[in-house]
């Protein structure tokens, strides 16, 4: 950031040592590289400042590995959707915003109907392909401020933020049901799925993620029945 660059410039102007200053540059071909530099001030025989002596290291691969690790820690490996950990962070932020703004929020808990049959009859590879297709459809149904997450197996969650009315969640649930009912083609075969959806509203049903998940789970089970 500009503030970090300014602080680094002040370090150099004061002839102080610098340790592991990390910055990014763009090569002429547009590729971004990361570097870490450390240096100590050097003085001539008269004691006058003569510059810096130090080391610069290309840490691009290390930065990319760290970014990938952070991504994997917060996203489902199969679908790329946020996992439970990232969902919890998003829910906390969403509920805090809703308390300040007075807007509504909702959790939709989704469970695919009869998905297990696909794994049992055609194998997990076919099942995984179906899950990826469903994840892409769900992601296309919501706004940028909303979150679609995968809890595991065939369970998904949609977090809706800044809703004006509870019926907004019902409209999304209806879109979800329509989208999931569209056939999914894998290897020349078409799979027909259904989905059960349970909805819980903030603040009407619960004030935190755990409570909302419990209420949505009860509603989803009733829908499945």
Please list the active-site residues: 154
Say how far apart CA 150 and CA 217 lie, in whole Å: 14
For 131-170, give one letter per residue: b (16+ CB within 10 A) or e.
bbbbbebbeeebeeebbbbbbeebbbbbbbbebeeeeebe
Strand order through the sheet with 147-152: 147-152, 155-163, 104-113, 194-202
Say how far apart CA 115 and CA 176 lie, in whole Å: 16
Q: How many CB atoms lie within 10 A of CB 221?
A: 13
- Report the SS3 class of residue 86: helix
Q: Are 98 and 105 a contacting pair, CB within 8 Å?
A: yes
CA dihedral sign, ordered 77, 130, 221, 142: positive
- The single-letter DSSP state of residue 140 is T
């Amino acid at each position: 950031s500009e503030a970090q660059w300014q602080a680094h410039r002040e370090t150099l102007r004061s002839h102080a040592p610098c340790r592991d200053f990390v910055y990014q540059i763009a090569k002429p071909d547009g590729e971004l590289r990361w570097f870490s530099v450390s240096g100590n001030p050097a003085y001539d025989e008269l004691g006058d400042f003569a510059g810096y002596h130090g080391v610069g290291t290309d840490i691009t691969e290390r930065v990319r590995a760290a970014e990938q690790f952070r991504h994997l820690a917060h996203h489902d490996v199969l679908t790329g959707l946020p996992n439970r950990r990232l969902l919890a962070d998003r829910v906390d932020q969403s509920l805090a915003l809703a308390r300040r703004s007075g807007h509504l929020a909702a959790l939709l808990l989704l469970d695919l109907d009869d998905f297990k049959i696909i794994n049992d009859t055609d194998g997990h590879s076919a099942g995984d392909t179906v899950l990826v297709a469903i994840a892409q459809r769900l992601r296309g149904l919501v706004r940028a401020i909303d979150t679609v997450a995968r809890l595991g197996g065939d369970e998904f969650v949609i977090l809706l933020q800044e809703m004006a009315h509870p019926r907004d969640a019902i409209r999304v649930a209806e879109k979800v049901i329509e989208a999931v009912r569209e056939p999914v083609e894998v290897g020349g075969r078409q799979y027909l799925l259904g989905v059960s959806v349970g909805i819980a509203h903030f603040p009407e049903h619960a004030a935190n993620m755990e409570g909302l998940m419990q209420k949505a789970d009860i509603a989803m089970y009733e829908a499945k029945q």
